[in-house]
Amino acid sequence: MKLRPERSRGSCGIAGIMNKKKERFSGEKILNSISVMQDRSNGLGGGFSAYGIYPDYQDQYAFHIIYENEKNKRIVENHLSKDYNIAKGEAIPTREPKKSVSSPPILWRYFLDPVKSNSSEKNEEDFIVETVMEINRNVDGAFIVSSGKNMGIFKGVGFPKDIGRFYQIDKYEGHIWIAHGRFPTNTTGWWGGAHPLGILDWSIAHNGEISSYGTNRRFLLNYGYHCTLSTDSEIIAYLFDLLGRKHGLDIHTISNVLASPFWNDLKRLNSKARRLNKAIRITYSGALLNGPFSLIVGQQDRMVGLGDRLKLRPLVAGEDGDMLYMSSEESGIREVCPKPDSIWSPKAGNPVIGYVGE
């Protein structure tokens, strides 16, 4: 695909909307938010993650899988049938794609539970992660792109407004929505590598470049996470799962790991805070993200925004009543909420955290 010369390198667009009372709203809202920032993408990737969209199957894991062909689909289904009770499997509903939506693969979703006898020796969520890693590594042309409960990721190659139309995002209702418009600079643009990226009920939309990708990837390999999606952003989703779910760190500490203060800045802290930050920095040196980035992270009960410690990528946040908004640009918020109660630009390395029920 040739890039049109009038396209500026906008370095991706991200947007997130959350209702703090867990009231569901149409995906049309996030579609309008990300579409107003189309100049930040170049048609090589768009996508959405949504929470609360499957109330009829809220107790089952929802696997969204992309397949290159029917043979790969049969291989994966045979694998899943051995380890899972599949309540339902079906094609993900789509509309006729516009020209900008490039070569859609086979798109399928499954609502399933692990067979207890197969997963009894392991934590259930670890079992899900192992399944995702095994299929994404070992079955050519098959990739599980989301695997959480009562949530799903919808993404592909195209502009976000066209990807949203293709997946009929406007027909879904959820209490958290995250969107991404991609402008890949050093990785390929393909369906599996589009954002958001996820594992279990974590999903992330990322703007920027992770120059520490090699170090981060090797760090994650020690814990069984394998990167297979040809994008540096994949490591962010796995780091949140490792640090948050496996190691039990809170979001503020995770942010401190990923966007640690500079050593010189630690000198300004009191002795207790300085010792704590040094310990975090040393223990999790392999998880520190270097390079310019801003990101939005979703989970069933919260939405988090975080920028790098030099603020090299933009992030704007706003609130209006029970609604929390995040965006690469103020326009992404004001397009769907013209007069928010408050709007601000978070400080470098400081997370914006919204909780359901707060």
**Size of the chain in residues:** 358
Q: What angle do CA 330, 158, 135 make, to 5 degrees?
A: 110
**Distance between CA 84 and CA 105 in Å, rounded?**
24
Rg of the chain over all Cα atoms, to the nearest angstrom: 19
**Distance between CA 284 and CA 231 in Å, rounded?**
22
Give the max Cα distance, the chain.
61
Q: Which residues are catalytically annotated? A: 12
- Dihedral angle sign, alpha carbons of residues 28, 29, 33, 36: positive
- Per-residue b/e over 61-83, b at no fewer than 16 CB within 10 Å? bbbbbbbeeeebbebbbebbeeb
* Cα torsion through 41, 206, 355, 344, rounded to 10: -60
* Residues 195, 50 contacting (CB under 8 angstroms): no
**Distance between CA 167 and CA 120 in Å, rounded?**
36
Residues in contact with 47: Cβ distance below 8 Å, sequence separation at least 6, in sequence order: 153, 154, 155, 156, 160, 163, 179, 180, 182, 194, 195, 196, 205
Structure tokens that stand for 286 in this block:
């392999």
